[in-house]
């Protein structure tokens, strides 16, 4: 397949080349400090013995896998350390095609564009179910689309808290999705990378369902503000583990050993107040930004979690052309809604991981006044 450079890179490059100051609200890279124990863990590792600079076990450091397994209440053999949640999602989706008779993924619309991209990479087909106006999923609508897929369904793939809508699927919804997948001998793949950014208290991991057809992916990119470390994990049904380990070995050999060790130190030494502080920071930014959207007369989805707000301005569809116009005339860079599917193509998505959220909100309010 031809390589298609992700759209957010195009937008960031355009913003970087602008002739004015531009506030970057394109990608979800946190602007705050990682845990102190992560920094100290890295510093300590620099003084390690030469043997510690060699290949780690392909499936991940045993200590890190055991720590994750204990926290998630699963067998350690189901845990594979991956190069971020991106690889974890790839392993889960590829494994679903191997483990079922299906060749189709059921995705939400709007959708994080890397999911359909991975489906294309795997030569699988895609079917979409539109989210509700508030970003939530109606299990009845999912069931209807799953029925249309019938025996071709390999997996339902969801992200909660959601990028881009900010929706948090409650336990009842996630259980219903697992049931629907089971009815078609398919999997539910739940990407939970924003699990530390639930503003409602409703989030529960799909792992708590204890279902044999559920795979969960996650990473420390967002929760520890380390998107460049690429330490994630997949927790897979036992029959899928062998194939996933083989793919991981052949593509990556292993995940960075120093990064894994630093994450392990941070997990052991970082208390809940670190995550609470950053969650509160994001909740405050959501309030600031949505207040400005109210002043600008915009429609928006009130996020229950995650980093993003989707907004719609009258007579201003969410095209790449209009995103560039916002860069040039308002000094704010966001993402076009059309990048996330058809359901929100008239919308724009803004990442609130910037200390200049209030200034960006003021600029947008002035531009659309």
Instruction: Report the pLDDT value the prediction gives residue 1, as an integer from 0 to 100.
Output: 54
> The tokens 């991106």 sit on which residue?
86
Extract long-range pairs of 202-209: CB within 8 Å, 24+ residues apart.
202/168, 202/170, 202/171, 202/304, 203/160, 203/161, 203/168, 203/170, 203/305, 204/170, 204/171, 204/174, 205/72, 206/174, 206/178, 207/72, 207/73, 207/74, 207/235, 208/171, 209/171, 209/174, 209/175, 209/178
**Does 57 score more than 90 pLDDT?**
yes
169 — alpha (psi -120 to 50), left (phi > 0) or beta? beta
Q: What is the pLDDT of residues 153-168, one digit of tens each?
A: 999 999 999 999 999 9
Instruction: Report the pLDDT value the prediction gives residue 23, as an integer from 0 to 100.
Output: 97
CB 64 within 8 A of CB 263: yes
Instruction: Report the pLDDT value the prediction gives residue 316, as an integer from 0 to 100.
Output: 94
Instruction: Read off the pLDDT of each residue in 190-196 and give the average, rounded to a whole number.
Output: 98
- Band (337; pLDDT cuts 50, 70, 90): very high
Instruction: Read off the pLDDT of each residue in 245-268 and give the average, rounded to a whole number.
Output: 97
Max Cα separation, the chain? 62
**Does 3 score more than 80 pLDDT?**
no
- Band (2; pLDDT cuts 50, 70, 90): low
Q: What is the pLDDT of residues 296-306, one digit of tens each?
A: 889 999 999 99
Q: What is the pLDDT of residues 79-132, one digit of tens each?
A: 999 999 999 999 999 999 999 999 999 999 999 999 999 999 999 999 999 999
CB 305 within 8 A of CB 194: yes
The secondary structure of 185-252 as a DSSP string is: T-EEEEE-TTTT-BSSS----GGGG--TTEEEEEESTTTTT-TTT--EEEE--HHHHHHHHHHHHHHH
Q: Which pair of tokens denotes residue 112?
A: 């994080």
Q: Average pLDDT of the chain?
A: 96
Instruction: Report the pLDDT value the prediction gives residue 326, as an integer from 0 to 100.
Output: 97
Q: How far apart are the first and last CA of the chain?
A: 44
Instruction: Report the pLDDT value the prediction gives residue 296, as an integer from 0 to 100.
Output: 86
The domains of the chain are located at 7-34+273-367, 54-269
Quick check: helix, strand or coil at residue 126? Answer: strand
Nearest to 97 by CA among 120, 67, 74: 120
Nearest to 75 by CA among 60, 87, 65: 65
What global pTM score does this model have? 0.96
Please identify, in words, the CATH class of the domain defined by 7-34+273-367.
alpha beta
Instruction: Read off the pLDDT of each residue in 219-226 and give the average, rounded to a whole number.
Output: 98
Distance CA 191, CA 312 (A): 26
CATH number among 3.40.50.720, 3.90.79.10, 3.40.640.10, 3.40.50.300, domain 54-269: 3.40.640.10
């Amino acid at each position: 397949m031809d390589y298609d450079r992700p759209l957010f890179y195009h937008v960031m490059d355009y913003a970087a080349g602008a002739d004015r100051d531009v506030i970057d609200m394109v990608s979800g890279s946190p602007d705050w400090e990682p845990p102190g124990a992560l920094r100290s863990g890295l510093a300590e590792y620099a003084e390690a013995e030469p043997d510690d600079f060699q290949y780690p076990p392909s499936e991940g450091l045993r200590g890190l896998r055991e720590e994750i397994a204990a926290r998630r209440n699963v067998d350690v053999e189901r845990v594979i350390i991956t190069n971020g949640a991106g690889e974890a999602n790839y392993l889960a989706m590829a494994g679903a095609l191997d483990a079922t008779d299906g060749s189709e993924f059921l995705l939400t619309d709007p959708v994080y564009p890397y999911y359909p991209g991975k489906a294309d990479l795997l030569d699988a087909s895609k079917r979409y179910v539109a989210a509700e106006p508030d970003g939530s999923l109606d299990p009845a609508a999912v069931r209807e689309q799953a029925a249309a897929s019938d025996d071709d369904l390999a997996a339902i793939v969801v992200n909660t808290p959601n990028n881009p809508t900010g929706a948090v699927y409650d336990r009842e919804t996630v259980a219903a999705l697992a049931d629907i997948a089971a009815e078609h001998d398919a999997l539910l793949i739940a990407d939970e990378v924003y699990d530390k950014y639930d503003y409602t208290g409703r989030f529960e991991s799909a792992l708590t369902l204890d279902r044999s057809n559920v795979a969960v992916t996650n990473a420390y990119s967002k929760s520890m503000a380390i998107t460049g470390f690429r330490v994630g994990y997949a927790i897979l049904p036992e029959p899928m583990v062998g194939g996933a380990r083989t793919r991981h070995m052949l593509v990556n050999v292993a995940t960075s050993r120093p990064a894994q060790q630093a994450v392990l130190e941070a997990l052991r030494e970082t208390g809940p107040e670190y995550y609470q502080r950053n969650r509160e920071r994001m909740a405050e930014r959501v309030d600031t930004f949505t207040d400005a959207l109210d002043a600008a007369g915009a429609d928006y989805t009130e996020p229950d979690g995650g980093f993003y707000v989707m907004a719609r301005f009258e007579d201003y569809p969410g095209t790449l052309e209009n995103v560039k116009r916002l860069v040039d005339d308002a000094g704010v860079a966001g993402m076009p809604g059309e990048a996330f599917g058809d359901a929100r193509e008239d919308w724009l998505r803004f990442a609130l991981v910037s200390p200049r959220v209030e200034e960006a909100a003021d600029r947008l309010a002035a531009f659309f006044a």
